[in-house]
């Protein structure tokens, strides 16, 4: 299968590209970021923005059969209005090009934060639920909009087999996602009096899940998850970090200071309330089985991103 | 009365799928349940000296709904019911309450409720837990039930109907129970709704000594024989209301039996020199 991956230079996207290539698929990608080893690995990288004309030329000339859209960004990586443009205009461009150039299958790789963190929402979110608590964290609005827009392809573009996949937090060695960034420092803030459950999926398992979704040609909206969720305090402890529980008002003042990670005030709700997903629909459709337990994932992260003894950092 | 093995051993014998960190897929934590049981177990045994009858009616495994009356202005009833299933059953079971939303709005209470499996009373929670063969604890009187005043302590207010539809949909047995003594432990004379609104809770029960602190009154829990209803959950309202009335009647009967027993106990004590 000829698979095109917009956003191919991201951490998980690279692993997916290599994995698909190893399984005999032809793989190409579009990204503004470099990936020096791509050519050597037999993967064609087109440098550019998915919203620009050159990207459409890739669709026209390379004629992909399937597209895995991974060119969305979070507030961690791109602040401000540009993020909204990348997420929403980029997603529109990808689907437009797919429709115009005969792509048969699209995977939109979204996030489980779609559901929002709220005290009164169900613990396990099914795919049939609406997004909640967006007013608390408006930085997520464009990702939610992109997810909903991608889902419209299910009725707008019936000839394309579309799947919207909502992935949980990922960890790797050490990984590149939101959770990896949050755990980077020695001290990790918690909101005093709360300890939400987090779903964690090892990056290799993410690659397996995406490959299955592609090869099984699933259609619809799916929550993807691996091992059952665990409390954030366990993640912090088992990755060798020090939990710093602070009252919410104090924490909102200290974010980005005193060695604590930078977070928006709205994101504090994600440290209070869980976002846990029901993945039964995805398991039924693909037979996905995770290989890495939570303990495995946390150990791998801890070993690849150890906390250096005090005083030795920066040497 | 409660069996003799240690509280720690009782928690270890819970038949829940705990992972290597002692946490189950709903976030119930062995260590939090253990801590909570130490506190509630002491209150159950030595402060309220709870008497529990009919615990054999609760299925030792598989889905079930404990459905009973509210008694007392704060959640003493729920706490003692779940302590009773942990201390009196063999093997012990963790009853999972369907609690009021406000409990999860506050720090600490949100954490402890989550880690001990007490979730907001949403149909999604109840259905999923029953399909997972858990034991649910439901008070169909809702917040209106805890607002009962001292002179209404043995009465029942209107029941919601959702629990019956849920029992039918999930084919779950209903184990009725009566909780007695909570209204005397917390003798509410007035509910301060405006103060409650300011504090983010439905109301604050006030007692003759002002604060809703429970007195050391002996409490009784009477579990009755399971009721099993058959259907799909899509039945007409009048059918559902009929089933609700049956459950309510059974609970009222258990309350009456319990009252008579409490009365004769008191009378017996008065005969002593």
- Helix H, strand E, coil C: the string for A172-205 is CCCCCCHHHHHCCCCEEEEECCCCCEECEEEHHH
Q: Find the residue in B nearest to A129 (Cα).
A: B124
Residue recorded with tokens 């993945």: A279
CA atoms within 13 A on the CB side of B8: 0
Name the residue facing A234 among B21, B101, B104 (closest C-beta): B21
- If you average pLDDT over residues B233-242, what whole number do you get? 95
Statement: A2-173+200-228+276-291 belongs to CATH 3.40.47.10 = no
3-state secondary structure of A166: strand
Cβ distance A122 to B124 less than 8 Å, yes or no, reads yes
Residue A123 — pLDDT band, cuts 50, 70, 90?
A: very high
Residue A42 DSSP symbol: T
Distance from the Cα of B39 to chain A's closest Cα (Å) equals 19
Q: Assess whether pLDDT exceeds 90 at residue A191.
A: yes
Left, alpha or beta for A258 (phi > 0: left; psi -120 to 50: alpha)? left
**Pairing mode of beta strands B95-99, B64-68:** unpaired
- Contact by Cβ (8 Å): B21, A191: no
Task: State how far the Cα of A111 lies from the Cα of A100, in Å rounded to an integer.
Answer: 27
Task: Look up residue A273 and give its two tokens.
Answer: 């309330």
How far is the C-alpha of B183 from the C-alpha of B74, rounded, in Å?
A: 10
Q: Under DSSP, is residue A92 helix (H, G, I), strand (E, B) or coil?
A: helix
A76-93 per-position pLDDT tens digit: 677 778 888 889 999 999
Closest chain B residue to the Cα of A190, Cα to Cα: B107
Distance of alpha carbon B246 from alpha carbon B224, whole angstroms: 13
For an interface test with B, which of A130, A194, A295, A299 has the most B Cβ atoms less than 10 Å from its Cβ?
A194
Q: Is residue A238 within 8 Å of A126, Cβ to Cβ? A: no
Distance CA A179, CA A194 (A): 18
Question: Searching chain B, which residue's CA lies closest to the CA of residue A230?
Answer: B27
For residues A48 and A55, give the distance between their C-alpha atoms in angstroms, rounded to a whole number: 7
- The reply to whether B32 touches chain A by the CB within 8 Å rule is no
Cβ-defined contact of B19 to A230 (cutoff 8 Å): yes
pLDDT band at A173 (very low <50, low <70, confident <90, very high): confident
3-state class (DSSP) for residue A288 = coil
Query: What is the set of domains in chain B, with CATH numbers?
Result: 12-271 (3.40.1130)
CB A146 within 8 A of CB A88: yes
The residues near B140 (Cβ < 8 Å, ≥ 6 apart) are B67, B159, B160, B162, B163, B244, B247
Choose the mutation target among B98, B102, B109, B114 for the interface with A, i.e. most A CBs under 10 Å: B114
The answer to whether the Cβ–Cβ distance between A120 and B24 falls below 8 Å is no
Residue B265 token pair: 């106990």
Q: What is the mean pLDDT of residues B178-196?
A: 89
| pLDDT for the residue numbered A266 | 72
Tokens of A279: 């993945």
The overall average pLDDT reported for chain A is 91
In this prediction, residues A214-227 reach a mean pLDDT of 97
Contact B25 A194 (CB under 8 A): no
Put simply, whether B31 touches A (Cβ < 8 Å) is: no
Q: What is the pLDDT of residue A256?
A: 77
Residue A46 contacts residue A54 (beta carbons within 8 Å): yes
Q: Output DSSP code: residue B50.
A: -
Q: Residues A2-23: what's their mean pLDDT?
A: 96
- Give mean pLDDT, residues A232-255: 92
Total beta-carbon pairs less than 8 A apart between chain A and chain B: 66
B108 to A193: CB separation less than 8 angstroms, yes or no: yes
Contact A120 B101 (CB under 8 A): yes
- A230 contacts in chain B (CB < 8 Å): 19, 21, 23
Look at residue A7 in the predicted model and tell me its pLDDT: 95
ipTM, two decimals, is: 0.89
Residue B47 has pLDDT above 90, yes or no: yes
Predicted pLDDT of residue A315: 35
Enumerate chain A positions whose Cβ falls within 8 A of a Cβ in B: 119-120, 122-124, 126, 191-195, 197, 227-231, 234, 238, 247-248, 272-274, 278, 293-295
User: C-alpha distances in angstroms, A46 versus A32, A54, A91, B91?
Assistant: 8, 9, 17, 63
For residue B88, what are its two tokens? 């009196």
Q: What DSSP character marks residue B207?
A: B
Output the DSSP codes for B102-117: GGGTSTTHHHHHHHTT
Whether B24 contacts chain A with CB within 8 A: yes
Q: Does B21 touch chain A (CB under 8 A)?
A: yes
B263 has pLDDT over 80: yes
In which band, very low, low, confident or very high, does the pLDDT at A314 lie, cut at 50, 70 and 90?
Answer: very low
> Do the beta carbons of residue A71 and residue A86 sit within 8 Å?
yes
Which residues are registered as beta bridge partners of A202? A171
Closest CB to A120: pick one of B19, B104, B108: B104
Share of chain A above pLDDT 90, in %: 75
Polymer length of chain A: 315
Taking residues B52-68, what's their average pLDDT? 97
Domain borders along chain A are 2-173+200-228+276-291
Residue B212: what pLDDT?
A: 86
pTM value is: 0.91
The answer, for B131 touching chain A at a CB cutoff of 8 Å, is no
Do A123 and B119 lie within an 8 Å CB cutoff? yes
- Specify whether the CB–CB gap between B13 and B60 falls below 8 A: no
B143 touches chain A (CB under 8 A): no
Quick check: B120 contacting A, CB < 8 Å?
yes
With CB atoms and an 8 Å threshold, state whether A123 touches B125.
yes
User: Which residue would you say has higher pLDDT here, A266 or A144?
Assistant: A144
Asked whether residue A172 carries a pLDDT value surpassing 70, the answer given is: yes
């Amino acid at each position: 299968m000829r698979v095109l991956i917009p956003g191919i230079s991201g951490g998980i996207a690279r692993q997916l590209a290599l994995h698909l290539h190893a399984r005999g698929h032809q793989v190409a990608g579009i990204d503004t970021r470099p990936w020096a080893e791509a050519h050597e690995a037999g993967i064609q990288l087109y440098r550019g923005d998915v919203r620009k004309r050159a990207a459409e030329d890739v669709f026209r000339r390379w004629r992909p059969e399937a597209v895995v859209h991974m060119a969305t960004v979070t507030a961690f990586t791109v602040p401000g209005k540009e993020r909204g443009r990348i997420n929403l205009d980029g997603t529109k461009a990808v689907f437009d090009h797919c429709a115009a150039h005969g792509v048969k299958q699209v995977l939109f790789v979204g996030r489980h934060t779609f559901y929002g963190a709220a005290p009164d929402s169900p613990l396990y979110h099914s795919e049939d639920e609406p997004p909640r608590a967006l007013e608390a964290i408006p930085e997520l609005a464009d990702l939610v909009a992109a997810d909903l827009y991608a889902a419209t392809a299910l009725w707008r573009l019936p000839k394309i087999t579309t799947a919207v996949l909502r992935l949980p937090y990922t960890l790797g060695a050490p990984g590149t996602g939101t959770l990896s960034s949050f755990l980077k420092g020695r001290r990790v803030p918690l909101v005093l009096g709360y300890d939400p459950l987090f779903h964690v999926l090892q990056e290799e398992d993410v690659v397996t899940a995406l490959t299955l979704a592609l090869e099984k040609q699933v259609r619809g909206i799916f929550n993807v998850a691996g091992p059952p969720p665990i409390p954030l305090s366990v993640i912090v402890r088992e990755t060798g970090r020090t939990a710093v529980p602070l009252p919410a008002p104090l924490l909102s003042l200290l974010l980005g200071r005193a060695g604590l990670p930078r977070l928006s005030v709205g994101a504090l709700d994600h440290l209070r309330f869980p976002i846990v997903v029901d993945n039964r629909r995805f398991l039924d459709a693909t037979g996905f089985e995770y290989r890495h337990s939570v303990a495995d994932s946390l150990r791998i992260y801890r070993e690849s991103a150890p906390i250096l003894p005090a005083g030795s950092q920066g040497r | 009365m409660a069996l003799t093995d240690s509280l720690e051993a009782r928690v270890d014998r819970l038949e829940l799928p705990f992972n290597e960190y002692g946490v189950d897929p709903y976030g119930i934590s062995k260590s939090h349940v253990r801590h909570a049981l130490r506190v509630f177990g002491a209150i159950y045994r030595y402060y309220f000296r709870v008497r529990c009858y009919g615990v054999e009616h609760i299925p030792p495994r598989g889905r079930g709904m404990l459905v009973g009356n509210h008694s007392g202005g704060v959640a003493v009833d729920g706490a003692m019911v779940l302590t009773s299933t942990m201390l009196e059953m063999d093997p012990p079971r963790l009853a999972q309450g369907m609690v009021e939303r406000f409990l999860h709005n506050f720090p600490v209470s949100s954490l402890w409720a989550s880690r001990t499996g007490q979730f907001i009373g949403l149909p999604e929670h109840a259905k999923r837990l029953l399909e997972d063969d858990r034991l649910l604890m439901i008070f169909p009187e809702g917040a209106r039930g805890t607002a009962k005043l001292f002179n209404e302590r043995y009465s029942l207010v209107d029941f919601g109907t959702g629990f019956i539809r849920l029992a039918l949909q999930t084919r779950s047995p209903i184990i009725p129970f009566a909780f007695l003594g909570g209204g005397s432990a917390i003798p509410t004379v007035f509910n301060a709704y405006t103060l409650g609104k300011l504090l983010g809770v439905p109301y604050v029960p006030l007692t003759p000594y002002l604060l809703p602190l429970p007195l050391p009154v002996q409490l009784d829990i009477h579990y009755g024989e399971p009721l099993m209803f058959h259907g799909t959950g899509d039945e007409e309202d009048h059918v559902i209301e009929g089933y609700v009335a049956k459950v309510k009647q059974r609970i009222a009967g258990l309350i009456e039996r319990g009252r008579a027993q409490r009365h004769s106990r008191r009378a017996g004590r008065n005969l002593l020199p």
